[in-house]
Structure 1
Amino acid sequence: MPSFFLAVLILGLPLNLLSLWVFFHRLRRWSRSTVFLFNLTLADTSWLLALPYLINYHLDHLYWKLGLTFCAAVRMFYHNYFYLSIFFVTLISVDRYLAIVHPLRSLVLLGRRQTCLLCVAVWVAALILSIPVATMTLIQTCPGSNRTVCTLYILLSETGESLPYSLFCSLIGFLFPLLSICYCGLHSVRELRHRSCRPDPHNKQRRLRRVLSAVLVLFALFYLPYHLSRNAAIVMRVVYPDNPASWHNADLAFALEMCFCSIITCVNPLFSCFIGGQFRKEFHGTFAVIFSHCPGTQVASMISKRTRMRTKQGMSTVSPVCALPAPRSQ
């Protein structure tokens, strides 16, 4: 886990910091999708900044030295991030649905003020949803040693509170958003297919259909196994309360899913590039400027320029400008 989290931190933090820089310094006009994508990136960056504490905790052989308050805050923030990500991805899907299926109504339902208030409501709702994590987090001392463990509520032997809470979060924080994304995505794709008879020289409709389908697939791929393994780990404690050895496989599956779900912090910046056209242009431009100063990239940039020039020349020879007819000789 610490090696995996460290790799995610090294890859995800520069991508998200670069995305925040693009949001603040390169984008002048913010649409609804831009506001939702910014909040999603902000949630990713906040979680990545808190990740070093978990990495240090695991590298120190699960020896927590920062006290119960900070332990509860880290555990609550870790739990809070997943639902922030889920809610903002859901809002992006709803926004795309309204823009495609109900373009005029969306201007009334989601103005600039309503969009900002909705983002604030999501942050508050996710925080309230994660408060029970702090109350169930414990500092336990290992028998025979002085080592203190920052216990995750899912791994507690007492399941009277953890199982109902986990099922409630799975229902409110995952199942309802998943159904919303399915509904919005399927209706948006169907609407775009009805428009397929219209001319689309740049294949924007086809690209948008692929993006909406990819959102649904990635959402289910990342979060469905996580919630299944989390509930399974708690259920095993309910079914076999006196046999801790039987919990091992479920706990291992949940630990692997925690690692796998952390990859979403690296995927979301790419997701922002696919959703926001202007963001994609600015992100690619900023990325190219950064790497243009690296050694060995000047040759590649010269090659790409020559390729573009040849492409333009080739296009001009394929479709020449029609010349005026030559004057007849007298």
Structure 2
Amino acid sequence: MNFSNGPAALNETSLYSCRFNEDFKYLLLPISYSLVFFFGLALNSMALYIMAFRTKRWTPSTIYMFNLTVADTLYVFTLPFLIFYYAGANDWPFSEPVCKIVRFLFYANLYGSILFLSAISLHRFIGICYPVRSLSWLSTRRAKVVSVAVWACVITCQAPVLFFSRTRRHRKVRVCFDTTSPELFDEFLVYSSVISVVMFALPFMVAMVCYGLMVRKLLEPSLASGDDKRGQQVAAHRKQKSVRTIVIVLMSFMLCFLPFHLTRTLYYTFRYLSKRHPEQVTCKLLEASSIAYKVTRPMASANSLIDPILFFTAGQGFRKTLRMEPKKDKRCISECADVTLMTQL
């Protein structure tokens, strides 16, 4: 198969050669990244301000959400570099270290978000399905330990990105590779595949199982006494809100992360096959997978918008901490623990 890149777009498969028309990304990516930068910076800054200066009592959920917002904010600050890059038709105007940092922060935010959302899922699962035990299992100290472990895992697992990411002169432009240089692609493919399984597929399955069990638990009939109608109404309302929150989180999980990983896997697979078995992959198939992958990249970036929106719309427990300290009622340890943990994101 004789591949050759056209002048309209430079693709990282240029070593193997196919003429790709990717002019769309020079409009799609700068516009989408600009929107994510503008709204993401405003929303995440507001969320950080509320958590840092207006939240009186930090819960484990607050700690997870704070770390999630920090990851989103760090990524948002890298977007101006990508906006200039793609608006300039793949001409990287900055140094190679900046290219490495930008690519590293993208994946650090991506997998940091996935792991912190998984931690939130496990936290909610324990709080809803085991409300009494959760009083001793869930603590701010343990949440801090988990957060440190998540950051250590993310930094360690994404450190190879700093090696694989690099720049190179191609014709009249300087490219900042989204993956790596063509001669290192096989090694990068092995690394990327392992990361996708360990840091996306497994956490995604954990979150799905946790939320499935939580929905079943929340849909069970209330055990409250029959004469306590107001208590039943409040519990039912809070359960409905928790179910809606679960649906929103799962939808954001699947809309932002799942399409990106599926299209990226297809693109990497076809790209590998086009090198090893060129007769099995046509240029049109390779181009279609490349376009699909690039279209889903802004969807993955949009997670930086969804996380603070979830904080503002579903974090009822957070909003209460802005007004008053929660009153403790010794008569309802189990039920109060259940309700409190259900309403915290």
- Secondary structure at the counterpart of residue 18 of structure 1: helix
Out of 195, 198, 218, the position equivalent to 1:172 is 198
Counterpart in the other structure of 1:224:
258
Task: Quote how far apart the aligned CAs of 1:158 are.
Answer: 4.7
TM value normalised by structure 1: 0.80
Out of 139, 152, 160, the position equivalent to 1:132 is 160
Residue deviations 1:152-178 (CA, integer Å, cap 9, x gap):
216846532122122111111111111
Identity in percent = 28
> In proportion to residue count, which structure has more helix?
1
Between the aligned partners of 1:265 and 1:283, the Cα distance in structure 2 is 23
Task: Quote how far apart the aligned CAs of 1:116 are.
Answer: 0.6
Residue deviations 1:16-70 (CA, integer Å, cap 9, x gap):
1111111112110011111111111111111111111111111222222322222
Out of 201, 204, 207, the position equivalent to 2:233 is 201
- Secondary structure at the counterpart of residue 29 of structure 1: coil
Whichever of the two has the greater Rg, that structure is 1
Task: Quote how far apart the aligned CAs of 1:263 are.
Answer: 1.4
Task: Quote how far apart the aligned CAs of 1:93 are.
Answer: 0.9
Between the aligned partners of 2:243 and 2:222, the Cα distance in structure 1 is 11
Counterpart in the other structure of 1:72:
100
Task: Quote how far apart the aligned CAs of 1:283 are.
Answer: 8.3
Distance 1:100-1:28 versus aligned 2 partners, 3 A rule: same
Between the aligned partners of 1:47 and 1:135, the Cα distance in structure 2 is 19
Q: Is the 8 A contact 1:64 1:148 kept in 2?
A: yes
- Structure 2 alignment gaps of length 5 or more: 1-28, 225-230, 324-345
Residue deviations 1:44-102 (CA, integer Å, cap 9, x gap):
11111111111111122222232222211111111111001101111111111111111
- Secondary structure at the counterpart of residue 233 of structure 2: coil
Out of 277, 289, 294, the position equivalent to 1:255 is 294
For the aligned residue pairs, the C-alpha RMSD in angstroms reads 2.1
1:108 is the counterpart of 2:136: yes
Between the aligned partners of 2:214 and 2:311, the Cα distance in structure 1 is 18
> Which amino acid in 1 is paired with 2:267?
A
- Secondary structure at the counterpart of residue 186 of structure 2: coil
> Matches of residues 20-59 of structure 1 in structure 2 within 5 Å?
20-59=48-87
Q: Is the 8 A contact 2:112 2:154 kept in 1?
A: yes
- Secondary structure at the counterpart of residue 200 of structure 1: helix
Residue deviations 1:107-164 (CA, integer Å, cap 9, x gap):
3333222211110111111111111212111211113x2x211112168465321221
> Which amino acid in 1 is paired with 2:163?
T
Between the aligned partners of 1:200 and 1:156, the Cα distance in structure 2 is 62
1:269 is the counterpart of 2:308: yes
Between the aligned partners of 1:186 and 1:161, the Cα distance in structure 2 is 37
Between the aligned partners of 2:127 and 2:91, the Cα distance in structure 1 is 50
Residue correspondences, number: 282
Q: Is the 8 A contact 1:166 1:231 kept in 2?
A: no
